[in-house]
Structure 1
Amino acid sequence: MAEEKKKPKKQSTFSQIKQIYQFTAQDDKQLPFLIAGAIIVPIIVGVIVCAVFKFGWLNWILTMVLAVMIGLLLGTTVLTRRADKVGFRQLEGKPGATGAILNNITKGGFSFPQEPIWVDAKTKDAIWRGSGRTGIYLVGEGDYGRVMKAMNREETRIQRITRGSDIPIHRISVGDGPKQVPLNKLQKTVVRQKVKLTKYELEQLNDRLQTLQAKSTMGIPKGMDPSKMKISRRAMRGK
């Protein structure tokens, strides 16, 4: 009998934290000091409280255990936030970064295909279309003017399959301009909209959008594969 293929081992929480730390520390030199401070400060506070109130040995132990737990929690929080900043900073300006972020928004019924529905082969401006219980999304990356013109065409096509309904179409341009949304705020901008559709209505909408997409499938130019973009662990969870 052929040997059974070994299943890949799941990474432990410690290994995951170690990888995130190594990834972040390469770009963030202040990280070790910030984490150390976040862990040590609660412990120092715990010692002071115990000394001031003259706790007995049992209360000392309980207080210090609590202080260590709070310190570890704060240290982990600092790590994830700094990792987010580094991850988004490394993504900014890279073609396909918007798609990498959108594709990892999985909660709340959101669905964003990896491939953009429109790409300018010369400038690499792109538009992604997605959906959720909050409506339909057109998210553009690149020059604001060019992206808005392309969105006008895509919105007209969408309106043909949603005629007679009140499904909102949200248009978002990603960038650093006055009318654009920064990459690190894209997820919050997408998920904060009000719920408009039931799960059943969303399923019907997705079926129509898939049919629309099948009629105009477009490949991705080289250098724009969002599935290969690296982002921080927290961003990958769509939080």
Structure 2
Amino acid sequence: MSTPATPPTKRSQQLIQTYRMAKATDRFIGLITLGVFLLGAAVGFAVIWFLPGGQGTLKLILSIIGAILFGLLAAIIIFGRRARAAAFKQMEGRPGAAASALQMLRRGWKTDAVVGFTKQQDIVHRVVGPPGIVLVGEGNANRLKTLLATERRKHVRVLPDTPIHEVVCGNGEGEVPLPKLVRHVTKLGRNVKPAEITEILARLKAIDAQRGTVPMPKGPMPTSMKGMRGQQRGR
């Protein structure tokens, strides 16, 4: 009687999903990751092997362990970077791409997708975190000026003392490209404390209650970005 196969863990499922997503854009990601692993393994083996002291079987075992660890570390770093680049490339230009990217923000941040929109699919997302409130727009730059100004006024009425930042995601002048969006948002400063963030979120419920349900435009694959976020957090 055969033993049933052990189902893959959530982490392995995320890894497989991320690989399949990335391969659709970066078809050499598997070969490159394997090459990096072998190169890292060779370096790791050499580093341990040529260290002074030790000899014989013990040193060989330690060198092999070092090779595996160095190789895995190098492969994980390169795979993560290429997979992230592939995900951004697939999402760029699609409605809702900025919201998917913002899902990669770590703990201490709260992202609300599509707090404002136009019929032409210009969208404003909201992020609450250490900088305060960040309104992130994507779409036509001219229409977004009015939309962002409207959303700013709504938030100022409820939270007049909270810093409010406006960011437009795009490739135009003064806009932030999608791959750099998360880093740009996290570098806006630390203006509020965690306890204040809790109070801000409580007050924002008044705005959201008046807003009603806002449809999220059909966008790319936020699940793949969430999987990458989980890997970054070490879950």
TM-score band, normalised by the shorter chain?
0.7 to 0.9
Contact 1:128–1:140 (CA under 8 A) maintained in structure 2: yes
Q: Which residue of 1 aligns with 2:40?
A: 42
Residues 98-123 of structure 1: CA distance to partner in whole angstroms, max 9, x if unpaired? Answer: 12222453512x11223x122111x2
Structure 1 Cα separation of the partners of residues 126 and 165 of structure 2: 10
Q: Give the structure 2 partner of residue 93 of structure 1.
A: 93
How many Å separate the matches in 1 of 2:51 and 2:194? 57
Q: What aligned pairs does 1:39-78 form with structure 2 within 5 A after superposition?
A: 39-46=37-44, 50=49, 55-78=55-78
Q: Which residue pairs with 1:202 in the alignment?
A: 197
In 1, the alpha carbon distance for the partners of 2:42 and 2:31 equals 16
Residue number in structure 2 paired with 1:5: none
Matched, 1:168 2:163: yes
The 2-side partners of 1:155 and 1:237 are apart by 34
Distance, in Å, in 1 between the alignment partners of 2:55 and 2:68 is 17
Change (3 A) 1:43 1:10: closer
1:219 aligns with 2:217: no
CA contact (8 A) 1:88 1:231 kept: no
CA contact (8 A) 1:105 1:238 kept: no
Name the residue aligned to 2:186. 191
Q: Secondary structure at the match of 2:188?
A: coil
User: In 2, Cα distance between the equivalents of 1:150 and 1:17?
Assistant: 38
1:146 aligns with 2:140: no
Q: Work out the CA distance in 1 between the residues paired with 2:128 and 2:88.
A: 23
The 5 Å alignment of 1:117-156 reads 117-121=115-119, 123-156=120-153
Tell me whether 173-182 or 76-85 shows the greater mean CA deviation: 76-85
Change (3 A) 1:103 1:48: closer
The 1:157–1:22 alpha-carbon spacing in structure 2 relative to 1, beyond 3 Å, is: closer
Q: Does the 8 Å CA contact 2:137/2:144 hold for their aligned counterparts?
A: yes
SS at match of 1:220: coil
Identity %: 25
Q: What residue identity is the alignment partner of 1:64?
A: I
Letter in 1 for 2:73: L
Structure 2 residue identity aligned to 1:112: T
Shift of 1:228: 5.8
**Residue 112 of structure 2 aligns with which residue?**
113
What is the RMSD computed on CA atoms of the aligned residues? 2.7
Q: In 2, Cα distance between the equivalents of 1:238 and 1:62?
A: 28
Compared CA separation, residues 36 and 88, structure 1 to 2 (3 A): same
Deviates more, 1:137-146 or 1:99-108: 99-108
Residue pair 1:135, 1:197 contacting (<8 A) in 2 also: yes
CA distance in 2, matches of 1:19, 1:158: 38
TM-score by length of 2: 0.82
Distance in 1 between the 2:61 and 2:168 partners? Answer: 54
Deviates more, 1:197-206 or 1:46-55: 46-55
Q: Return the match for 1:231 from 216, 224, 230.
A: 224
Q: Which runs of 5+ in 2 are unaligned?
A: 1-6
SS of equivalent to 1:112: strand
SS of residue paired to 2:165: strand
CA contact (8 A) 1:99 1:226 kept: no
TM-score w.r.t. structure 1 length?
0.81
Per the alignment, residue 23 of structure 2 pairs with 25
Q: Does structure 1 retain, via aligned residues, the 8 Å contact 2:103–2:229? A: no
Q: Deviation of residue 43 (structure 1)?
A: 3.2
Q: Relative to 1, partners in 2 of residues 1:119 and 1:237: Cα closer, same or farther, differing over 3 Å?
A: farther
Conservation of the 8 A alpha-carbon contact between 2:170 and 2:177:
yes
Q: Hey, what does 1:84 align to over in structure 2?
A: 84
